[in-house]
Amino acid sequence: MSEIVKITNVTGTAVTIRGNDIDTDRIIPARYLKEVTFARMGEYPFFDERFDGAGNLKPHPLNDPKYKGASLLFVNKNFGCGSSREHAPQALYRYGLNAIVGESFAAIFAGNCTIMGVPAVTVSAGDIEQLMQTVEKDPKTSFNLDIEAKTISFGEQKIAIDLPETYRSALTSGSWDSTALLRANLEQVKKTATKLPYMSNFPG
């Protein structure tokens, strides 16, 4: 039975991908949407920007050894715009990125992140620039994203973050994971099911 997982903090190093209006087709090219499961999605984020036609590496932050193992992603404005494909946050999460901090997000993208347990939080334009410069200067900098306190901290610095209260509550309470929530309340689900006409009382 799945356990309810509360997302209150994400700690680790970060990687920066600069640019406004980075859409979901850039995050994961459409040809990879044909796969039946999300199992291999971690192989594909920014694939066409990271590899040439022969499969050789191109210059890209996700190919840079300095950022290997990063668990936070720093982005600019309107990240995740375009189509509403869930594959985009799935690809980033399965790559190893457990939180995204940016100036702003497309609403559906941020919602898809939340239902996967991946905080997508916003900071001001000045603050994201400071965070990006910090990472680019020292990729080993460790950050702590505190969802309950609504801050991101590193060294002696602490920056306010923002996210919708519904998202913050879902993450910190564990209700972001609807499947685990149902399993944790299985007996109540069964009792409710017996009262539903389409479960038991339809004519044969």
- The model's pTM: 0.86
Per-residue confidence in pLDDT tens, the chain, 204 aa? 457 789 999 999 999 999 999 999 999 998 888 877 888 899 999 999 999 999 999 999 999 999 999 999 999 999 999 988 889 999 999 999 999 999 999 999 999 999 999 999 999 999 999 999 999 999 999 999 999 999 999 999 999 999 999 999 999 999 886 554 444 444 554 555 556 666 565 555
CATH number at residue 136: 3.20.19.10
User: Which residues are registered as beta bridge partners of 145?
Assistant: 10, 152
What gap in Å lies between CA 87 and CA 24, rounded to an integer?
8
Say if 198 falls within a structural domain: no
Say if 20 falls within a structural domain: yes
What gap in Å lies between CA 97 and CA 82, rounded to an integer?
21
- The encoded tokens of residue 158 equal 């602490």
What gap in Å lies between CA 69 and CA 49, rounded to an integer?
19
Say if 142 falls within a structural domain: yes
Say if 50 falls within a structural domain: yes
Say if 150 falls within a structural domain: yes
Residue 144: partners with Cβ closer than 8 Å, 6 or more residues away: 9, 10, 11, 152, 153, 154
> Domain range holding 170?
9-175
Please name the residue that has the structure tokens 């702590």. 144
pLDDT of residue 158: 97
Say if 182 falls within a structural domain: no
Per the structure, the count of domains in the chain is 1
Say if 156 falls within a structural domain: yes
Say if 121 falls within a structural domain: yes
- What sign does the CA torsion over 24, 26, 27, 28 have? positive
pLDDT of residue 74: 98
> Which H/E stretch holds residue 169?
helix 165-173
